[in-house]
Structure 1
Amino acid sequence: MSKKITEIIDSELKELVSNFMINTDLEIAALEVAFKKSDLATINRLGHNMKGSALNYGFIILAELGRSIERAALDEDVIKIDQLLIQLKDYVARVEIMFEKK
């Protein structure tokens, strides 16, 4: 079994995190569609949005993945984007959310 990735999120956001993770799954699906179409502009936008949303919730690792996707799209680095999509799916599969009062 793979090691969990822990994100520590403010407990005041506990009721919102479930929907956030559902939206993250939808964004991943949209990224995969855009990747298949070589739509770098959409990949850039989705990476940027993911970065911002993740930071608002306190998902530091997810925000970094979003930032990396955004950057790779700007650089037109499709190999890097492909690797980052794999990392992103792995992250979602392994993330463990811990809530604490900030």
Structure 2
Amino acid sequence: MPDRVIVEVDEDLSDLIPGFLTHKRADVATIVDANARRDYAEIGRIAHRIKGEGTSYGFELMTEMGRSLEQAATMRDDAAVATLARQLLNYMDRVEIVFQPSRD
């Protein structure tokens, strides 16, 4: 298996993480479809959401990828969008979540 990416997440989010990752995979599929249609507005909207949600759930790298996707959509760079979408899926395939006790 490829190198795992360890992500520490607050245990209070443990019930939300599987659904979150499922939705992000669906978002990537939508980005790929939108890229085929050259719908940069849709790509930008989804990328902006990924950028905002990533860190909220403890996935800082996902936030960075969302930021890069948003920039690629602004530049109308089909190749960059496709590459970043693949990288985001690869990241989610390799992520290993370690739940940490709440810091409250």
What's the TM-score, normalizing by structure 1?
0.93
- Structure 1 segments of 4 or more deviating over 3 A? none
SS at match of 1:3: coil
Q: 2:65 maps to which residue?
A: 65
AA at the equivalent of 2:48: H
SS at match of 2:9: strand
Shift of 1:10: 0.8
Q: 1:6 maps to which residue?
A: 6
Q: 2:91 maps to which residue?
A: 91
Aligned equivalents of 2:30, 2:79: Cα separation in 1: 18
Shift of 1:23: 0.7
Q: 2:76 maps to which residue?
A: 76
Matched positions, count: 102
Aligned equivalents of 1:64, 1:99: Cα separation in 2: 21
Shift of 1:5: 1.1
AA at the equivalent of 2:41: A
Answering whether residue 25 of structure 2 is matched by residue 25 of structure 1, we say: yes
The one-character-per-residue Cα deviations of 1:3-44 (angstroms, maximum 9, x if unpaired) are 011111111111111110111111111111101111111101
Q: 2:44 maps to which residue?
A: 44
Shift of 1:75: 1.5
Q: Which runs of 5+ in 1 are unaligned?
A: none
Aligned equivalents of 2:6, 2:41: Cα separation in 1: 31
What's the TM-score, normalizing by structure 2?
0.92
